[in-house]
Chains A and B, each alone.
Chain A
Amino acid sequence: MVLAPGYAPLSFTPPEPGSYALPAMGSAADGAVIDSDGNSAQLHDFLGGKPTVLSFIFTTCDDVNGCPLATYVMRSVQDALQADPATANKARLVSFSFDPVFDTPDVIDAYGSQFRAGEFDWQFLTTEGATTLDPILNAYGQWVIRDYDENGEYMGTMSHILRVFLIDESRQIRNIYSTSFLHADTVANDVRSLLMEAAAEPSADTGS
């Protein structure tokens, strides 16, 4: 097994935060979700206001280069941002389960508690089921292939394309990462770039 690049030190010098553009790729979609406390909410309640990194996972994924990679990278991003007073508590992470059957609020709460550092804004979300989940997955281009036997019985395994989304304070998608290019250093730099961008924008209050 060859581990994804995200598990190792970055093998190149990334461009400096703020030295490049992150063009908007469209609005991040909304939908009905359930948080880890079991409360009904909207996905947009957890997007906007600050840069957010959103990944789609399922807690029983055992492919080291899949969901565990996404969670590993997000934890590393959390740690990197929290270690810098300039970026601490200025971003959010959202891990969204696409397995509502197994990933109940209790399950994702227990899962998330392993990774969330203190009171850092890292949300773990699930859904009621296909009715609310399917529109969200469709909007984010996330399709899951579940394995069914010849009798139509679910075999307990599924496949999906790993995608992690960077969403800005206005709920615009600004980058999408897949396994080849998912690394905490580049994701954290992109978050820093968005924070620098927001800091540079004229304030509405001052009218400047």
Chain B
Amino acid sequence: MIIRGFFSALIALAVLVQPTSADETCMSPYMAKIVGQEDYVYIWTLGLEGVGDGEDKLVTVDVNPDSETYAQVIHSISMGGRHEAHHSGLTDDRRFLWASGLDTSKIFIFDVHTDPAAPKLHRTIDDFVEKTGGVVGPHTNYALPGRMLITGLSNNRDHGGRTGMAEYTNGGDFITSVWMPTDDNLQGAEKSGSFADGYGYDARALPRRNVLVTSSFTGWNNYMMNLGKMMGDAEAMKRFGNTVVIWDLHSRKPKKILDVPGAPLEIRCAWGSRSNYCFTTTALTSKVWLIYEDEAGEWQAKAVADIGDASKIPLPVDISISADDNHLWINTWNDGLTRLYDISDPFAPKQIMEEQIGEQVNMVSQSWDGERVYFTSSLLANWDKTSASEGNDLQYFKLYKWDGNSLTPEFNLDFVELGLGAPHQMRFGAHALYGGMTAQSPSGLVTTPPAH
């Protein structure tokens, strides 16, 4: 928690003990939050051959409407090649942004506090596979107190879906790793159903219940394969995750393996102080699943809603929960739709609206108050569509205003036209997080005014 000060109007203090808001609604509960206007969106972008320098890059867009460079790309830093840029995450103090590559397993740590308008590379972790004992494909970069939890997608033995998680200090030093529970090594976990596949994907914590929840996707062999080829390969299509694991957060030991068939992806947990549940969606079966603690204190999984017509493979991807736990944005990549669900009854979500965002849509990020909703398009280099229908955008970063009833387009940046690539994960930045424009020493006792 950030203990309050003058900037408390702009930064959220308590993640922890009261409902808060932000994609800001979707990050770790250990983190500081931006409750006012965000200044920047940092977009981890996949390089595309023939587009600009073709390299993965961290792109900074000015999103403060009071700024002279509003809605413009103001900074970009390229990472020397294509690593399969996918997800990023901030440290709990939001001073560093970790961004990882699913192919090379490199993790790039950016300093976003010295000059939030111009992130700079602080450190590169290039021995993730070695240090973790073979985990491949760092996916989720999730803040814990003073450290980062990194989930994997694959392994260096068979490049299949069995994988693990690792912890690093905020500065980038390896601490420990653990493998996901499997049939031949449950690690004390209860196998509640048919599956113990050992696959991984996302992770979210509910500290007041001492719970960490993880989901499961697929391994390097699949996520680096051309989508059409993979979908035509019956054996490959069997190699997707079917589990959500409930962990003891304090001991980092798996407690229970839940059957959630069809590749459960993003996990978003409710913020209410008595709301002991999380949502995930299954990519292959197109359902909303509720992961919840029942009255007996047991964690369960239940399919609670359909997402579109599963036979058309809408492919649910990113989701974003609102601050008040009443709404859930669900993007379906294949048809380019964003869908809003009323989840005020978590056991009976109902779709209440949908909007065409582009030819394909992946990530969705909300501002603190839910009034600004950002979208990006890219999923994976070998899965992304390469052409768009008339009137649809292919690779973009878009802002919409949300008034509680409808989405109104605000701006649209075409990342191919701009020579950048395929945009993916978004994270917010703000000068207010670091004391405004005046730099302060760690104690705040020594200040350096801005140069201009």
Chain A residues within CB distance 8 Å of chain B: 2-5, 11-12, 14-15, 19-21, 23-26, 61, 63, 65-67, 98, 100-101, 129-130, 133-134, 137-138, 141-148, 152, 155, 157-163, 165, 176-181, 186
Contact present for A5 and B17 (CB under 8 Å): yes
Cβ–Cβ < 8 Å partners of B6 in chain A? 147, 155, 157, 159
Q: How far is the CA of A62 from the CA of B16 in the complex (A)?
A: 18
Given contacts A4-B16, A15-B250, A161-B93, 20 further A-B contacts (CB under 8 A): A2-B14, A2-B273, A4-B14, A5-B17, A14-B210, A66-B4, A133-B445, A134-B441, A134-B443, A137-B443, A141-B171, A143-B95, A143-B434, A146-B5, A152-B449, A158-B5, A160-B3, A176-B146, A180-B1, A181-B249
Q: Residue of A at shortest CB range from B178?
A: A21
B93 adjacent to A141 (CB under 8 Å): yes
Q: Chain B, 418-447, contact with A by CB distance < 8 Å: what is the 0/1 string?
A: 000000000000000011001011111111
Residues of chain A contacted by B14 (CB below 8 angstroms): 2, 4, 65, 179
Also in contact, A141 and B443, with CB within 8 A (given A25-B147, A147-B6, A180-B30): no
Q: List the A residue with the shortest CB-CB distance to B251.
A: A20
Contact assessment for A129 and B445 in the assembled complex, using a CB-CB cutoff below 8 Å = yes
In the docked arrangement, what's the CA distance between A137 and B95, Å?
A: 14
**Chain B residues positioned under 8 Å from A138 (CB to CB):** 442
Compute how far the CA of A105 lies from the CA of B292 in the bound complex, rounded to whole angstroms.
50
State in angstroms the CA–CA spacing of A147 and B435 once bound together. 7
Does B99 count as interface, using CB distance less than 8 angstroms? Answer: no
Interface centre among B6, B11, B29 (most CB of A within 10 A): B6
Chain A CB within 10 Å, residue with most, of B1, B3, B29, B169? B3
Contact A133 B209 (CB under 8 A): no
**Cβ–Cβ < 8 Å partners of B93 in chain A:** 141, 143, 161
A25 touches B175 (CB 8 A): yes
For chain B, residues 170 to 198, give those with C-beta under 8 angstroms from any C-beta of chain A.
Answer: 170-171, 173, 175-176
Contact A25 B253 (CB under 8 A): no
Please tell me if B248 contacts chain A, counting CB pairs below 8 Å.
Answer: yes
Contact indicator B29/A152 (Cβ below 8 Å): no
Structural contact, A141 and B209, CB atoms closer than 8 A: no
Cβ contacts under 8 Å, B16 to chain A: 4-5, 65, 178-180
Q: What's the nearest-Cβ distance from chain B to residue A162, in Å?
A: 5
Q: Which residue of A lies closest to B16 (CB)?
A: A180
Chain B residues within 8 Å of chain A by Cβ, number: 54
- Using Cβ atoms and an 8 Å threshold, which residues of chain B touch A5? 16-17, 207-208
Return the contact of A23 from the options B175, B209, B210, B434 (Cβ within 8 A): B175
A-B contact pairs, 16 of them (CB 8 A): A2-B14, A4-B1, A11-B209, A12-B208, A14-B210, A26-B173, A101-B445, A141-B171, A144-B440, A146-B444, A158-B3, A159-B2, A159-B13, A178-B16, A178-B145, A179-B17
A180-B248 in contact (CB<8A): no
**In the complex where A158-B444, A159-B2, A180-B30 touch, is A146 in contact with B176 (Cβ < 8 A)?**
no
B5 touches A145 (CB 8 A): yes
Contacting A at CB under 8 A, from B68-119, are 92-93, 95
Interface flags, B196-223, vs A, CB<8A=1, else 0: 0000000000011110000000000000
Say whether B210 contacts A12, CB under 8 Å: yes
Q: Which of B15, B18, B32, B146 has the most CB of A within 10 A?
A: B146
The 10 closest A-B pairs by CB, nearest first: A146-B444, A147-B6, A66-B3, A20-B251, A159-B5, A176-B146, A137-B442, A179-B1, A180-B16, A178-B145
Contacts of A3 in B (CB 8 A): 17
| B449 / chain A contacts, CB cutoff of 8 Å | 152
Does B412 belong to the interface (CB within 8 Å)? no
Give every chain B residue within 8 A of A20 (Cβ-Cβ): 248, 250-253
| CB closest chain-B residue, reference A62 | B4
Using A66-B3, A159-B5 as known contacts, say yes or no to A176 and B443 having CB atoms under 8 A apart: no
Tell me which residues across on chain A come within 8 A of B248, comparing CB atoms. Answer: 15, 20
Question: Residue of B at shortest CB range from A160?
Answer: B3
Q: Which residues of A contact B18 (CB under 8 A)?
A: 2
Residues on the A chain within 8 Å of B210, using CB: 12, 14
Of the candidates B11, B14, B15, B443, the one having the most CB atoms from chain A within 10 angstroms of its own CB is B443
Q: Say which residue of B11, B273, B446 sits within 8 Å of A159 (CB atoms).
A: B11
CA distance A61 to B5 in the complex (A): 10
- Interfacial chain B residues near A100, Cβ < 8 Å: 443, 445
Q: Are the C-beta atoms of B442 and A11 separated by less than 8 Å?
A: no
- Digit string of B240-271 for contact with A (CB within 8 Å is 1, else 0)? 00000000111111000000000000000000
